[in-house]
Amino acid sequence: MAAIWMGGVSRAPLAVQGRRPAPAVTPDEQGLRALLLDCAADRQDPATLAVSGVLANAFARHGVSLLPIPGLDARETRRLMRCWVAGADQILGLDWFELTRMDRHEPRADEIEDVAALLVDAAHEGRDVDAARWLAQIISVACLGADHLWQDLHLRSRADLSSLLQDWFPALAARNTNNMKWKKFFYKQLCERAELQICKSPSCAACSDYALCFGPEEAGDSTR
């Protein structure tokens, strides 16, 4: 079996029955996402798409010798991958022993944790507590991206994101009664929690930035 190149060390990952063989080199983001989705039980599930998309972006940017998701240690990352993309860690040749000692600095870690806490507080009572926390971490990491949140989660549309939030974090989703852009809505909720007023107007309808917060979220438009 071909080996994966990891930080100058060639490692031969274990085979996973019925799935594609390990790549000769670490693939690009698109290839990583395809590899992860090959391991998914439901390739159409928005949560699975989000997990696969954010993991693929992290592995493409930082390699497979660092933990991909800030705020999740090696044990939690391994369980997250087993939950949504079982066997992908073996295909990628992840060395969990080494990863327990490796981390990457994230300068916006506090921001990630604030958004994750907002989501976790609104998690569906019927969902697995750990899975909801991992997914909250995935979403909060994607909030640091430059595109619409649904795009940085590698979902198919804003509707996918809305469905994901309604399924996993319904109490928070229900508060977005005016259909504000999700990323804007999260940060507005955080400001309200901290009793901060950063909006230009006390009324959204009268605000000059209304289009920035409530405009369309189509791929390619310039307002985020």
Q: What proportion of the chain, given as a percentage, has pLDDT over 90?
A: 68
Residues 125 and 146 reside in one and the same domain: yes
Alpha-carbon distances, residue 218 vs 50, 140, 158, 181, 224 (angstroms): 18, 20, 8, 11, 10
> Of 43, 69, 99, at which residue does a domain stop?
99
Amino acid 205: pLDDT: 45
pLDDT category, 196, cuts 50, 70, 90?
Answer: low
Alpha-carbon distances, residue 133 vs 38, 72, 103 (angstroms): 24, 10, 19
Confidence (pTM): 0.81
Domain count of the chain?
2
Residue pLDDT, tens place only, 52-82 = 999 999 999 999 999 999 999 999 999 999 9
Supply the range of the domain harboring residue 134.
Answer: 109-214
Residues 44 and 116 reside in one and the same domain: no
- Residue 35, pLDDT above cutoff 60: yes
Residues 127 and 209 reside in one and the same domain: yes
Residue 153 inside a domain? The answer is yes
Residue 224 inside a domain? The answer is no
Amino acid 195: pLDDT: 64
Residues 128 and 161 reside in one and the same domain: yes
